[in-house]
Amino acid sequence: MAMMHPNPQTDAIDRWSTNRNGTALWLHATAVAVDGKGLLILGASGSGKSSLAIDLISLGALLIADDGVWVETAADPALLERPKTATDLIEARNVGLIRAGMTLAAAPLVLAVDLDRAETERLPPIHSIALGDRRIPLLHAAHQHRLAPTLHLMLRHGRAEP
């Protein structure tokens, strides 16, 4: 059994931010929602953000935004917000732009996934992103197989606490 860490890593969300507008942060990220619960998908260009979102949309998630999203940090809970100029298009690598169908203007941020870092433990600690004094759960999920169904279930039914 993997060792559980009492003090899991916490990252500041500013690490992924490229711009600030008052209390809102602009992130080069993709966001979807399952049952009204927002998922922030983080990672470098080419890491699979849009592909993961497409997988989740095929399971019933709604697109908030692809390749750029606002996070309103003053809201409680923080909100993932669709840019005013966003469309329902999402990039399918080596296919082109496709329509995602229904979209959502905003959803509370309840979970984030980092596609740049792989988890090394079978039963990992709960990592998090800091938004002021609040913490948002963060999964390290680079190269993880069957990630979309796992995230879909987590957003619908939660995660057991260690």
Q: List, as one string, the DSSP characters of 21-43.
A: ETTEEEES-EEEEETTEEEEEE-
In a domain, 46, yes or no: yes
Residue 156, H or E segment: helix 147-157
Which residue range is the domain that position 89 belongs to? 11-157
Tokens 């600030």, located at residue:
20
In a domain, 26, yes or no: yes
Query: Do the Cβ atoms of 30 and 20 come closer than 8 Å?
Result: no
Number of domains in the chain: 1
Q: What is the mean pLDDT of the chain?
A: 88
List, for residues 117-158, the tens digit of each pLDDT value: 999 888 888 899 887 778 899 999 999 889 999 999 999 999
Strand stretches in the chain, DSSP E: 10-12, 17-21, 24-27, 30-34, 37-42, 62-65, 69-72, 79-81, 89-92, 96-99, 106-114, 127-131, 134-140
In a domain, 111, yes or no: yes
In a domain, 2, yes or no: no
List, for residues 43-96, the tens digit of each pLDDT value: 998 899 999 999 999 999 999 999 999 999 888 899 999 999 999 999 998 999
In a domain, 6, yes or no: no
d(CA 134, CA 80): 15
Query: Do the Cβ atoms of 137 and 131 come closer than 8 Å?
Result: no
In a domain, 5, yes or no: no
In a domain, 17, yes or no: yes
Say which CATH number the domain at 36 has.
3.40.50.300
In a domain, 126, yes or no: yes
